[in-house]
Structure 1
Amino acid sequence: MANKGRYGTGNFIPDYDWRDLPPSSPRDVEGGLALASRRGAIGRTWWSKRWIEVLESFGWASRLQRGRNYARRGQVTDLHVTEKGAEARVQGSRPEPYKVSIRLKPTEPAAWGRVSVALGEDAGLLARLLAGEVPEELEKVFARAGTALLPRKALELRTDCSCPDTANPCKHIAAVHYILAERLDQDPFLVFLLRGKSRSEVMDALTSRGPPPPTGPEDSPPGGSGPPAAAGQTGPTTDLLAYWRPGPRLAQAECVPQPPAVDGVVLRRIGDPVFLPAAQATGLRGALGKVYSLVTEKALAASRGERTVTSVPDAPQAAPALRPASPGAPAARVRSLDHTRKGRRRNKKTSITASLKIGVRPRGYRHGRRRLRKSR
């Protein structure tokens, strides 16, 4: 393996002209990881776009272009992301795929502690993270804690590839970067995983930080002063018979529905359906999000005693029913179109007769006194 080291150090070679190298074509791959974006920009969310922006800000135009072509062709055979970094294999022109690794510097425990405290103090950010969303304000929280969520410069990335190309990044590393960017769209918590923190560790750190225990006069039991509780005594004896009876403060309790702090929490937790293509899954999630918003709006209005008439946008309209020309006239029969040519001729006469019965004059015919005559 050619250890390429960090970007900008070691055996880093400035950008070169790919036309000076001997031509070679990569081997075809069946079932490789290909980009969903066949052309144009890569990435849907702000964190995946920021990952690409950081990568493209280093100025490796020609190598990144070849890496995009590899990623769109499906040359990346597999990709695994762990706390140690991203490991992938890329099929090139040789029979054996090249091994690629991408690593970020793990977040130090002291810096992660400061980030956890800051997130615990911001209820909005905490709710969005628990809903599976990575808000853009999270970068500022990491910056105030003296660290970074996404790489800001090339020296923060450590990449290796087993190909003979001494340039860093080579086209194989660039292809893995683009595949990893689209993987970040599907699971935003991979950003934390690249920094050495798994999803369970992030959730445990967020949910374990609750409000501090109260200290002061608020700790005294209702009714003011009283004798201190004895050792091992948890409180006054409760009347077990009154357990199922409404207390005097039940009538004072109020339940006021509030709008959710984050829209579409359930949809974000569930994620896109795996049984649909990416484009259709995104459209389904958007349609369900509109329906959920309408249901929330009507529920809040009902809690306030209001009546709202909400129409679903782009609702399909029912086709108008056929009505006979005169009351009591029989409706026309609908016949199947799957007939032979001879059958269609008979159906034409039948349809003319049925049209006359319901009071509709067929095109090209007019009534005679004793017979149906074709107009000239």
Structure 2
Amino acid sequence: MTGAARAAGTTPSADLIVIGGGIHGCATAMYAALRGLSVTLLEKETVARHASGVNAGGVRRLGRHYAEVAISQRSMEIWYGLEDFLAADCGFNVAPQIRVIETEAELEDARRRVRDLNEMGFDHEVILDQKQLREHLPAVSDHVIGGLACLEDGFAQPFHTTFAIARKAKAEGVRIVETCRATGLSQSEGVWSVETAEGTFRAAKVLIAGGAWGNDLSSSLGEPVPLKDCAPMMIVTSRLPHFCDAVVSAIGRPLSFKQMPNGTVVIGGGRLGRADRTTNLSEILFDELHLTAETASDIFPIMREASIVRTWSGVESILPDAIPVMGPSARHEGLFYSFGYSTHGFQLGPGCGEVMAELIATGSTGYSLDAFAVNRFAA
């Protein structure tokens, strides 16, 4: 997506510079342009190159951190109409998201969570008993006693979705400049300057949405966060007879599991490989990958008949509390953050993009972002 001309020296001024071409950067740029802002998006490689292009594609509200629930709900509303809005096929399918329950202790934890959500005013998560679970997952192992479910979640194709949002952003006037790494930021007289090898870009406001690299820039501005590199690992199996229409995870074990329309099964869910953001490379750790395959076979015995066709991983990042940095800088006027989505940012992309665009354009938003503050780790 190199439709914009390269900067030659200093580019014309913009209202907003977005640094990072993942789903969060692209969505914020798109919604900001729809609000009338002139926007330039800088991506150090290509759009959807890392986490936004290689994740499992889960579009889930299920199991969200309580601080994320309201925005996740709004994001789901957008997802239901996203393909029409973008005039693009994102591979979005509504499908139950189910976390299987294997012990009585897990069942009690699930019941407690549903009560908490109900008290917060949300009823999208429900408990399935063993019989109800098997209506959705007839191939599940006999030892599974129930499930925690959100029956109207889904999944999509992350690469296609992020590119479709980027195309829409460009159609709305966003300048997208790829292979253009931001190397430094400074502010003078209310104007931000972003230094790159392609020249200097200037704008009144800047959003850092750089994923695993976001902390490099925030640290240079005196706002470091304890962001850790990670590499979520994925498996694709050989084709199996149709047996699963849901996206499945587990309360007690890391797992993300779905059968695709062609019969292959995509498995991931929290076991991590090795990542190095300085080289942009990730590495599969096969001992960990074996545990992922073993978990899938324990929960779905039919998986013992499958063979692994391919695996992959990508460079991601995670924060200690597993929720992102999202909102305004605590030190600098006109600076905003949206990164560190800790392996679960895909579903949040449209909603967070809308919220951040509102905040950047108007100075406020109807959603509480206190839990996501960049300075929450300062102590």
TM-score for both structures, normalised by structure 1:
0.20
Q: Which has the higher contact order (CA 8 A, sep 6+)?
A: 2
Higher helix fraction (1 or 2): 1
